[in-house]
Amino acid sequence: MPITVSEKEGIVIFRLSGRIITPGVKEFSETIEDALGGDASPPKLLFDFKEVTGMDSSGLGALMKIYSDIHPRGGQIAVINVNKHVKNLIVMARLITVFKSFESEEDAVAALLQHP
């Protein structure tokens, strides 16, 4: 599962592709942890699901772990381009309020920048 990492105005953007499922979840989690490094400021993360073809409960669990790691430090997570399958998984797990969903990268970046 290839992940492209970039940064825009202090927001770390993860462009995900393929399937976020059990065999690749460890690599997925490690890539995100490495990108965050030892940054002391509250992390602001944006996950772009445009190229994601599927996700299982372990992928969702990895996202929840990331959230639980950064939330106490004031971190935030936003998602864009979430397909129907992934959105249904997020809704069923009642995480729709945890992962703020936006229509575009610009909207997500603007919203994340508004909250300190």
Average pLDDT over residues 46-59: 93
Q: Name the token pair of 29.
A: 């989690």
Average pLDDT over the chain, rounded to an integer: 89
What was the pLDDT predicted at 1? 73
86-110 tens-digit pLDDT? 888 888 888 878 888 999 999 999 9
Q: What is the pTM of this model?
A: 0.91
Give residues with Cβ within 8 angstroms of 89, minimum separation 6.
Answer: 55, 57, 60
- Residue 27 sits in which domain range? 3-114
| pLDDT band at 33; cut points 50, 70, 90 | confident
What was the pLDDT predicted at 17? 93
CATH number for the domain harbouring residue 100: 3.30.750.24
For helices 57-70 and 22-36, angle between their N-to-C axes, nearest 10 degrees: 20
Number of domains in the chain: 1
Q: Is 100 exposed, middle or buried (0-12, 13-18, 19+ CB in 10 A)?
A: middle
Average pLDDT over residues 32-48: 84
56-88 tens-digit pLDDT? 989 999 999 999 989 998 999 999 999 988 888
